[in-house]
Structure 1
């Protein structure tokens, strides 16, 4: 046991107990404890984020990477010359095209379908396909074979068999072979249709839920620090002290993640930024109060990701908290800044103590 590690942990925990901590305290706590975190969960992921702010792996990256891949396919379809589309079904089929059914590069296949399946609410999958996640994953694995850097649909083997049969001499006179060919073609049609429908549901559903929630974070802190405190012979009371202060710890974590970078499968990148967030249907300007004041009074702190593709820019949420902006940002400061819409980036990116209260401050 390292005495220096124990000292650094204890000092950080005492600051949390005395409510004298800020983002620097939480940075130290997670960096020092990182290699002692036993579980590959949220706390370890956040510790990795703080230590290495450019991420090309991890729990959050897997979800964001999958969402980005889906967005990119849609964007690429929009850039193509569109055929004549007459119905909503034709539009949906076109927008969810752009990727081959029978042969898919393995990295993209895993990102779109296995990671995408993991990111999908099971209720949505059951509603539109009748499959649970486990059934959908099993279906994909049973119907594809990975060879070198690609996944191949197994019906390609049936297609090849039919092609060989059709090359036989006097094929039209052999009713048994003709029957086998028709059965094989019908099997291919049914399998391809079923797999195509399943994949379109997975590709087409891009949910904007947060990549984690506060309850899960609290539980993960509790599980990890019970082990760490025991290992370093530190008073177990600090587990409850951490969970009791989870909202302010979360603010610090959000400021520490601000400006992090995700590197996607195609080497494009996205930047994580702190923003003011308010559901669109809540922003209704009234005579007595401006839209900016509504945002200040009702808005919450959120982390969004922003990436560029071709000439456009796109943003989607990483985490939306329940932490009210007005509790941690001075109103006069907010009203003097050019922030009047939800998901606008905010300049208050440091969590610092001011008169014993944790406030969001501009970097200095």
Structure 2
């Protein structure tokens, strides 16, 4: 590939927390960033994403997205953008695949429950939990804790949404151990991963919402830019079934967003000669043009009103929050309810004790959490799914 001068370079001796520079490592013909990606893919935390909520809590249908399928779709979009801009595709892909590793069961509903339970112990943030997962919880190696990923990967994961000027306890603790320059903008690869996440869930959540019947085509066409796409799709395929036309419209919208990011970012990075200049720019460089950003904000507003805050979604979220809250209360009261290896990790006092309990719950899949509630309390959680 033609590497841009402002791209992250895996041969520039990127650091790992344990073992120093990673550039000279070799186990097969892989770069340091390819090894990061592979460590993430082979982790148990990544595999558990297959049973964690994306939009719909513990969906019974096979075709709804989960955190795993969402992460794969984000990675595909991220690689396309990175390749077009001459960035490191492997680092971009690794960031996309890892960005949701800190999500607890039931997505944002589970996160809200853990935030409430952890209020006296410093709170809970899924983004910081992703760092905690790859740096301290996922421990497959004999010589050290964590996956020992490169500094570039960890830095991008910590601040793919921009600088973090007031980190919570989890991120602050990790930054003290392995400083990540939290106050600066991250690499372009991390910025691309963030916008790829937006593109994926903006459009794929439409697909899932239509399939579930929570969204209707007529409602979507109240957004003029989607109405324009629909008219063009109908014109190209006048005799195609509506279901196929809907999927074509979503593909078109993804293509428009991807092309917009590529064209806009090419303009913002003109003249940059290094990754250091990207971090010193003091602003986001990879992202939507102002016009597309305005459309994307309108789409997000629509999705919150019509899908994420749909009455049935809110009711399911409340039931899911109750599952997580009951689990935390049970484990805090009786540690013997936890597996032996997790009991062995428990510190004697809070806040550290509560944080390890939260680590255990955050790693659960939706189904595992519901099964755990049934085993502890004797009845399955109502209104979700049968386990």
**Above 0.5 in TM-score?**
no
- Specify the structure having the higher radius of gyration (Cα): 1
More strand by share: 1
TM (norm. structure 1) is 0.21
TM-score when scaled to structure 2? 0.20
